[in-house]
Chains A and B, each alone.
Chain A
Amino acid sequence: MNEKINVDLKSLKFIFERNKPYILPSIIIVICIALFLQFVIPQFRILSLAQEEARLASLKLQILKENLNVLTNTDEKSLDSRLKILNLALPLNKDFGGILNSIYYASQKTGVSLGSFSLQIGELADTKKSVDFPSISLTIPISANAPAVNSFVEVLSKTAPISEVTVIKIRNVASSIKLSFYYKPLGFSNLKEDMRINPISQKGLRIINRLSSFENIESFQQVPIATSSSQDINPF
């Protein structure tokens, strides 16, 4: 079936006149739908982004306020003395002065006589990052009996810098110990302004108290020795 539709201007005008009242509201509805899709939905996204931004900003503000509070409430003098103790216990670099001081302090205190030993200096500023705790290892021959060697080791464990005896060999009067003195350079700090600054924790205070009872800490603090554990290092 092939019907021909004859549309002339008169009939078009008639159709237009007949449907004229529908045209405007229909156009309005179509425009509203287009506006909704093109502008309102993106506005919702902008709103949720703004909400997220505001949430992050207030979180950062909260952290900054807490940081400011921590910094204003921290006494710099006590911070300095605590830092000094900690740096003596765990130097930032190889602290040969501290190591020798510790060994001779322990030998004097326990009355053991030490044989000759050597320290491998290596690079003064160790840049290796693979090792968790870099250390300087040495073997010290000791002319003493078992109890004396043991008390020497005990005293060493309570002196700064922190050391760990890894082997004890006791042979009549020709004994030896192998020990490692720890040091730890500061890790690369990627500090951001919104990073939380923690005050000294209770655990930290307990460790500092324990370290301040180390027998040679006081002598270190009284006599300024050339330690490589500089406190002037500023990571910022």
Chain B
Amino acid sequence: MNTNINLLLRTDEETLRRRKRVKALNFVALMFLAAIGGISLIIFLLIQIINPSAILREQNNIIKKISQFQNKQAKLFILNDRVENIEKILAKRKDLARITNVMLAKTPSRLFIEDLEVDDKTVIMTAYSTSLSAIGELINNLTDMVHKKEIINSLTLNTLVFDEGKNSYQVSVKAQY
């Protein structure tokens, strides 16, 4: 016969373990409850704090004030629109007068311009002179401009003929920029 069997003690140990488990479970349940409650409360408070109704009220006040300046607002809008567009036009506008001036300045005085046509891409010049050296000077001047990339970047000699009727040489050049 085994004398070490103590049923009463075993029951107490198991009861204690059960109580501990119940306590732990109760604690976890309470923690869950507290956490859910706490998080909900914090979120609620945060939503209340960041509620933009005050900002919206202030916005409405300012919009009312701005509506008193509607004319000024329209004028400023048109003004900025005009400025923006004028700026674009002035930036893209080619100064053909300057190009013509430069071409005329590069033309020797002994050379007479018969025809000068300047557009946004090319300059075509037809001139005549009794002297070939004047024509040579013009071509040299224009070639220098191409080398220095001064306005034009290419030069083509279209024609160089002797006009017996006028007793002069006629030259036609085309420059591109």
Q: Which chain A residues have a beta carbon within 8 Å of chain B's beta carbons?
A: 21-22, 24-26, 28-29, 32-33, 35-36, 39-40, 43-44, 46-47, 50-51, 53-54, 57-58, 60-61, 64-65, 67-68, 70-72, 74, 76, 79-80, 82-83, 86-87, 89-90, 132-133, 146-147, 149-151, 153-154, 157, 162, 164-172, 182, 184, 186-187, 189, 191, 193, 197-201, 203-204, 207-208, 210-211, 231, 233-236
Contact A168 B75, CB 8 Å, known A28-B32, A35-B36: no
CA distance A191 to B80 in the complex (A): 14
Interface majority SS on A: helix, strand, loop or mixed? helix
Q: Which residues of A contact B51 (CB under 8 A)?
A: 50, 54
> Is A170 touching B28 in the complex (CB atoms < 8 A)?
no
> Is B40 touching A71 in the complex (CB atoms < 8 A)?
no
Q: Which 4 A-B pairs have the closest CB atoms?
A: A25-B29, A32-B32, A86-B82, A28-B29
Contact A46 B47, CB 8 Å, known A40-B39, A54-B55, A198-B80: yes
Q: Which chain B residues have a beta carbon within 8 Å of chain A's beta carbons?
A: 18, 21-22, 25-26, 28-30, 32-33, 35-36, 39-40, 43-44, 46-47, 50-52, 55-56, 58-59, 62-63, 65-66, 69-83, 85-90, 93-97, 100-101, 104, 113-120
CB distance from B141 to the nearest CB of A (A): 16
> Is B43 touching A40 in the complex (CB atoms < 8 A)?
yes
